[in-house]
Amino acid sequence: MGGFFGTIAKHECRTDLFYGTDYNSHLGTKRGGMATYSKEKGFFRTIHNLENTYFRTKFEEKLDEFEGNSGIGIISDNDPQPIVFNSHLGKFAIVTVAKINNIGEIEKELLEKKLHLSELSSGKTNPTELVGLLITQGADYVERIEKVFDKVKGSCSMLLLTEDGIIAARDKWGRTPIVIGKKDGAYAATSESSSFPNLDYEIERYIGPGEIVRIKADGVEQMRKPNKQMQICSFLWVYYGFPVSCYEGVCVEHVRRECGLKMGATDDTPVDSVCGIPDSGIGMALGYAEGMKVSYQRTVSKYTPTWPRSFTPSNQEMRSLVAKMKLIPNRAMLQDKRCLFCDDSIVRGTQLRDNVKMFYDYGAKEVHMRIACPPLIYGCPFIAFTNSKSDMELITRRVIKELEGDDSKNLELYAKTDSPQYKKLVEVIANKFGLTSLRFNKLETLVEAIGLPKEQICTHCFDGSSKF
C-alpha cells in the first residue's frame, strides 16, 4: 500500500518530515523517500531500498542534507518515489498512494503523444512518474489532478511539493485517507494521523474524497471541493491502520475493540483464555475477552517489529518464514488449555496454518479462532494491499473451487452470512487447519463498529459491492 507525510513550516522542517514519514512505516516495506524544497537550494531528493532495513537507519545519517521549510516523504510497497518534475507548471516533487489497474492503457496514450517515461522499476512503468506526467499536461494543477482522477481505474491519493506550498489531493472515492494536522507555525498532511501526537500536531480536518487543498505554513486553501460520494476502505480499520490512527474521525482501536466486544458477547464457547494475534488482533481480543467475560492472556507474543506483515511478501517461502519467526508461543499458558485466538483476517492462510500448528505443538488442548472481518471473497482492485496476482491466492477462492469446481461460482452466496454455502466454507477452512472452531465477524457488525453509513465504506473484498 504505502503511506506519506508532508509538512510546511515557518522554520526548518526536516525533523518533522523524517519522523512523520517514519510513522507510516507499517504501511510499506519496499522503498522510502523524502524530498525537501528551499529557496536557496531548490529541490533535494533521496530514495532508499528498505527491504532489509528500517527507514530511520537509511535516512538518519544524512538528514542534515535536507534543507528548507517544506517537504514530503513516502513509505512505499512498490515504486521508488518521490519523483521530481520540471514543467511549465513549475518544478514539483510528487508522492502517491495508488493502484492503477489500467497503467498500460495510460502509458500507451502518453507514448503516442511523443512523451517518455524514464523511471522504470524492474522493467515496469513507475506509477508515480505516470501520474506526475499526466499532471504536467494541463494548464493548472487542479485541472490535471482531476484528469488523473478520471483516467485512473483503481485509486490515487497524492502529495505535490511545489515552490509555493504542498498540494494534497485525495482519491476521488476517498479509498485512502489524508489527514491535515496543525501546530504553531506549521501544517502537515499524512496518511496516518498516528504521525501527529509525538510531533505536537493536532488533527485539523480530514480531506474529503476528490478534494484538493494547498497547504502553507499559515493555513490551508481549498482548491477543489470534495465529492459527495465516498468509499473509504473498511480494511484500514480491520488491519492496516495503526491502533491510534483515526479515519473520518473514527479511531482504529475503537473499531477493533467494538468488533471483538460485539462478537464476544454472543459467544458461549467454553474456553480458558482469549489472546490476540499480535499486533492487529490485540484490540479485537481485548474487546472479545470483555464481551465473553473470559480472561485475556498473552499466550503468544511478538518478538520484534522487524518482520514484515506476513501476507505482504510476494514469495511464498518468505511469507511462511515471516509467519513463523515473528511469533513466540508461551508453553506455560498453552499447555492443556482451551485457547481462543483473535486475528484480523485470513488472506492466503499462511499465518493461520503455521500458528495453529504451533499452538498445538506447544500443548494447546483446543484452538478456537475468531476473525475481525468477514471472509475475503474478492481480491481488491482499488488498493495495493498485497502482491497477489490472482484471486486464487485467497484461501476462500481455493476452497470454493474445491466445492464448486469453479472459483467464481455462487460467490454472492458464499459472501452471505449463514447461507449453507457460507457455513460450508467456514467449516472447510476450519477443518483444513485443525481448528476446534472458527467464526468470522459479520459484515453488519463491522459496519456498525465503524459507525459510518454502509454506502460510504468500501466492503468490496467481502461482498463485491464497490466499483471503479
Mean pLDDT of 341-353: 92
Compute CA 411 distance to the chain's CA centroid, rounded to the nearest angstrom. 25
Average pLDDT for 41-48:
95
CATH 3.60.20.10 fits 3-230, yes or no: yes
The predicted structure's pLDDT at residue 8? 98
Least confidently predicted of 182-186, 191-195, 319-323, 435-439: 319-323
Omega before residue 82 within 30° of 0, cis: yes
The mean pLDDT value for 326-335 works out to 93
Tell me the CA distances in angstroms from 58 to 25, 55, 62, 161, 460, one per residue in order.
Answer: 13, 5, 8, 22, 37
Determine contact, residues 391/379, Cβ cutoff 8 Å: yes
All 3 cell numbers of residue 88?
A: 511549465
Q: Quick one: pLDDT band at residue 172, thresholds 50, 70, 90?
A: very high
Grid coordinates of 368: 478456537
The C-alpha cell at 101 is 489497474
Residue 78 banded pLDDT, cuts 50, 70, 90:
confident
pLDDT digits (tens, 9 = 90+) for 358-378: 999 999 999 999 999 999 999
Every domain of the chain and the residues it spans: 3-230, 255-463
Q: What is the pTM assigned to this prediction?
A: 0.93
User: In 218-285, which ranges are E strands?
Assistant: 219-224, 232-233, 246-247, 250-251, 273-276
Predicted pLDDT of residue 387: 61
Q: What pLDDT is recorded for position 380?
A: 93
Write down how long the chain is.
468
3-class SS string, 322-347: HHHHCEEECHHHHCCCEEEEEECCCC
pLDDT of 29 reads 79
Q: What mean pLDDT do residues 224-244 have?
A: 97
User: For position 311, what pLDDT does the model report?
Assistant: 43
Q: Does the pLDDT at position 131 exceed 80?
A: yes
- Mean pLDDT along residues 136-162: 95
Any residues with CB less than 8 A from the CB of 365 and at least 6 apart, and which? 336, 337, 338
What value does the mean pLDDT take over residues 220-243? 97
Q: Which three cell numbers stand for residue 440?
A: 468470522
The set of cell numbers assigned to 232 is: 473509504
Q: Check residue 193 and give its pLDDT.
A: 98
Per-residue pLDDT for 317 more than 80? Answer: no
* Confidence category of residue 122, pLDDT binned at 50, 70, 90: low
Please state which CATH class domain 255-463 belongs to.
alpha beta
Q: How far apart are the C-alpha atoms of 452 and 385, rounded to whole Å?
A: 22
Bridge-based pairing state of the strands 179-183 and 165-169 = unpaired
How far is residue 220's CA from residue 214's CA, in Å, rounded to a whole number? 6
Which residues are CB-neighbours of 418 under 8 A, at least 6 positions away? none
In the beta sheet, which residues pair with residue 205? 180
What's the gap between Cα 201 and its chain centre?
A: 22
Give which of 202, 22, 188, 178 is closest to 96, Cα–Cα: 178
Strands 31-38 and 165-169: unpaired
